[in-house]
Amino acid sequence: MSTTAPAGDRPTIVLVGHGMVGQRFLEALAERGLTATHRVVVLCEEPRPAYDRVQLTSYFSGRTPDDLSLTDEEFLTAHGIELRLGDPAETIDREAREVTARSGRVVGYDVLVLATGSYPFVPPVPGRDAAGCFVYRTIEDLLAIEEYARTRAVTGAVVGGGLLGLEAAGALNGLGLATHIVEFAPRLMPVQVDDGGGAALLRTIEGMGLTVHIGTGTQEIVTGTDGAVTGMKLSDGSELAVDMVVFSAGVRPRDQLARDCGLPVGERGGITVDERCRTLADPRVFAIGECAQAADGRVYGLVAPGYEQAETAAAAIARDEASFTGADLSTKLKLLGVDVASFGDAHGTTGDCLDVVYSDSRAGLYKKLVIGADGTLLGGILVGDAEAYGTLRALTGSVPPVSPESLVLPAGAAPGAALGPSALPDDAIICSCHNVSKGTIRGAVTEHACTTVPEVKKCTKAGTGCGSCVKVLGQLVTAELEAAGVEVDKGLCGCFDRTREELYEIVLALRVTSYQDLLDRYGREGARGGDGCEVCKPAVGSIIASLAPTIGASGYVLEGEQAALQDTNDHFLANLQKNGSYSVVPRIPGGEIAPEKLIVIGEIARDFGLYTKITGGQRIDMFGARVEQLPLIWARLVDAGFESGHAYGKSLRTVKSCVGQTWCRYGVQDSVRMAIDLELRYRGLRSPHKLKSAVSGCQRECAEARSKDFGVIATAGGWNLYVGGNGGATPRHADLLAQDLSDAELVRLIDRFLMFYIRTADRLERTSAWLERIPGGLDHVRDVVVHDSLGICAELESLMAAHVAHYRDEWAETVNDPEKLARFVSFVNAPDTPDPVVAFVPERDQIKPDLPLLSIGMRSAEDVLEGSAQR
């Protein structure tokens, strides 16, 4: 057995546990400079560093364990933190001030901090240890559930209908399992919501196809001859045929280490601590998070109180003034796609109070406010629509400046003025995760010159926890800038003081078909009558092209005025490459290509001496074509049945696919057919930025659909639709928009999603950035696209139908029109002279650009663009 002594003369802080609260404690130590003056050792039971357990279920929506990580090697190294993974503390010797880890390593401490969290409660029912029984707590649990669901399960049951239970049920449902929820209480989420809220939640969840059993408990897990789960008996005498059981019936504090070393614990568990988070029996030992019973006698199971305890403990070690006397238990969650929130005294337990209730069972909405006798807002419950959560939570404990009913009634139905975040007092807490007040956020703008939400996040940490306050944060930043006299110019550019979204609405409503007409009528005063700029010309050109069939404009991007609005790529319907040559990319829907067409591509590449490459998007690119060769190449491609792949345009690129159920033994749907159908439907659709898509035939996700702007994954019940994904330099996994869709439902939702994105996105804004910027984010997009909350879905579908009906291949039109072909020359005054800068050298039996020629001749991309302007 080895003993590690404190390094040098520095005192040692040992942290037992590295969850969310443990990581926040390390950050608090670093902020106070304690990592420079102390040796810090972390003993972690799990095989991976701290990760976001609040967002655990998002793993099943495409986020990886790395995406969920809350720290990195850079942070640990910069602060000299010794993190020992998979080596939890086994015993504590308080007299010797030593902790012994599972590996046998002994670490001496000057300060010991216990952040051991909690463990899942599994009811003591027969069969609970059978194969197919799981808990829902760690990433490893999720990996095990995913594997078992893929190989051995068709139907699953979740024991527990609280927060964690509904998360687990959503995971099983997302994995394609028929799912049961068993809750002993008479309603779902009995701690957070009342009977009315539980009823609204029940109706919505049952409408998703899940089966809910309330007011009954689990009596026995039934197993087969192989010892695996085959069913479960309930206390009401019924029996369910299930292959998997997930226990998610609550948690208990992990306080055994404390019990074993003589530290006192509460009657119902939890290491008892004082207001500074010190254990009552030993001032050198602290406890924080779910393992601790706070000075008010409560064990807090939410991340925000845990973070506050972590800050308090770090402050106490640094001898700063801080105390933890209680915390806000407000929560806002998205469970099975349903908004659920509670705040303050949601059940009216404080005495004389009244309820203000709005309920719409048809829409699955339930809103209740608890109002004191003096008009004070005491708390509330929101189910189905938690848009006002941030404002209502911040108003709790005060008398709202408007009538209570106006806070819950739908927009337009409420008496009086709407209440926004600007009406909140400065001491109102906006971010409960990091205890950031409205005054602190205002100070970030006025005193620290923050002008954007990311800057305010970095300055204050607001919005970096659960994220429920980000919308309010944005509203406050804008309001503060405007109040300070800073003009928040939302205009598209120097030519237009309107946003791209507003210009889209103008073009659509007034059937504007000309950029010049739009500029002259709606441009800024100094820009009217001018030529526009490089920002607004392609943006407006894209808007007109996307609405062309509806507004009566030409859909051909090189027709008349439209040609002058395009950038270099669209100007020649091809991608400009680094040496002034162009690439040719015919569309190959779904990556499926007949041998005859494959031969045509090979012959063209051979005859024109082009470099060929199979892309990640399941197409064949041909590089090195001179501008005058493009019509000759495309004439042969069009004749062979190919059409433009729009690799040059801000439009749909490809819909990638795996081989699906036709060939793959894991496939559950025909992904190739669906990919082809989608690519042919949305080809040529002009949008604010390029669009990429993919269809995977099963949950193995070989087509990488979750990294696309819209991705489709097959399930046993149909298709799951994911939106807002992005690869590239800032990758983002797509979010689940809807699941188990039929073919018709899938196409309808994609139609709506794409047209809503085109309608409301900013210029050059990918769907990933748009989804994070648009107020309300994914929740708002789902409300609009799936539930038609704005009443515009019929119009969105009509716009897409017009695009599909009027689609024309740009290259087919071009090669058959001599007037259009005249533009494809290197020099207008010498049309038969090829561009001398386009040169190549051989490489691996093909060609590559002659880069030395470029450097010697100082021929830059700007030179090429300037030359393009002469043509």
pLDDT tens per residue, range 364-403: 788 889 998 888 989 899 888 877 887 788 888 888 877 7
Q: Which ranges of 281-386 does DSSP label H, i.e. alpha helix?
A: 303-317
Least confident of 232-241, 272-281, 589-598: 589-598
Using alpha carbons, list the distances in angstroms from residue 847 to 572, 622, 623, 631.
22, 11, 9, 21
Most confident of 286-290, 425-429, 564-568: 286-290
Q: What is d(CA 68, CA 871) in angstroms, rounded to the nearest whole number?
A: 51
Q: What is the mean pLDDT of residues 844-868?
A: 50
pLDDT tens digits along 228-247: 999 999 999 999 999 999 99
Q: What is the pLDDT of residue 193?
A: 86
- Domain spans, the chain: 3-119+253-317, 133-249, 328-419, 500-560, 567-644+810-871, 651-808
Q: What is the pLDDT of residue 862?
A: 36
pLDDT at position 466 over 60 = yes
Average pLDDT, the chain: 86
Q: What is d(CA 745, CA 473) in angstroms, rounded to the nearest whole number?
A: 35
Four-way CATH pick for 133-249: 3.20.20.140, 3.40.50.450, 3.20.20.330, 3.50.50.60: 3.50.50.60
Fold of 651-808: Sulfite Reductase Hemoprotein; domain 1 (3.30.413)
DSSP 664-688: -TT--S-HHHHHHHHHHHHTT-B-S
Q: What is the mean pLDDT of residues 22-40?
A: 95
pLDDT interval class at 855 (50, 70, 90): very low
Fold of 3-119+253-317: FAD/NAD(P)-binding domain (3.50.50)
Q: What is the mean pLDDT of residues 623-637?
A: 91
Q: What is the pLDDT of residue 861?
A: 36
pLDDT at position 362 over 70 = no
Closest CA to 619 of 651, 649, 650, 583: 583
Q: What is the pLDDT of residue 127?
A: 95
pLDDT at position 156 over 70 = yes
Q: Which residue would you say has higher pLDDT here, 209 or 755?
A: 755
pLDDT tens digits along 62-99: 678 888 899 888 999 999 999 999 999 999 999 999 99
pLDDT interval class at 419 (50, 70, 90): low
Q: What is the mean pLDDT of residues 599-628?
A: 89
Over the range 474-510, which residues count as b (16 or more CB within 10 Å of their CB) and which as e?
Answer: bbbbbbbbeeeeeeeeebbbebbbbbbbebbebbbee
**3-119+253-317 and 133-249, same CATH topology:** yes
587 phi-psi bin (left φ>0, alpha ψ -120 to 50, beta other)? beta
Q: What angle do CA 843, 845, 849 make, to 5 degrees?
A: 35
Q: What is the mean pLDDT of residues 329-352?
A: 79
Q: Which residue would you say has higher pLDDT here, 598 or 489?
A: 598
pLDDT at position 712 over 80 = yes
DSSP 332-354: EEEETTEEEEEEESTT--SSSEE
Q: What is d(CA 797, CA 322) in angstroms, rounded to the nearest whole number?
A: 57
Q: What is the pLDDT of residue 871?
A: 35
pLDDT interval class at 356 (50, 70, 90): confident
Fold of 328-419: Enolase-like; domain 1 (3.30.390)
pLDDT interval class at 223 (50, 70, 90): very high
198 and 220 Cβ atoms separated by less than 8 Å: no
pLDDT interval class at 417 (50, 70, 90): very low
Q: What is the pLDDT of residue 860?
A: 38
Q: What is d(CA 200, CA 196) in angstroms, rounded to the nearest whole number?
A: 6
Most confident of 165-179, 407-421, 666-680: 666-680
Fold of 567-644+810-871: Alpha-Beta Plaits (3.30.70)
pLDDT at position 854 over 50 = no
pLDDT at position 864 over 60 = no
Q: What is the mean pLDDT of residues 763-783?
A: 89
pLDDT at position 317 over 50 = yes
Over the range 438-472, which residues count as b (16 or more CB within 10 Å of their CB) and which as e?
Answer: bebbbbbbeeeebbebeebbebbbbbebbebbbbb
pLDDT interval class at 568 (50, 70, 90): low
Q: What is d(CA 787, CA 781) in angstroms, rounded to the nearest whole number?
A: 9
pLDDT interval class at 420 (50, 70, 90): low
pLDDT interval class at 208 (50, 70, 90): confident
Q: What whole-number percentage of the chain has pLDDT above 90?
A: 45
276 CB-near residues (< 8 Å, 6+ apart) = 312, 313, 315, 316, 322, 323, 324
Q: What is the pLDDT of residue 565?
A: 65
pLDDT interval class at 729 (50, 70, 90): low
Q: What is the mean pLDDT of residues 491-504?
A: 86
pLDDT at position 203 over 90 = no
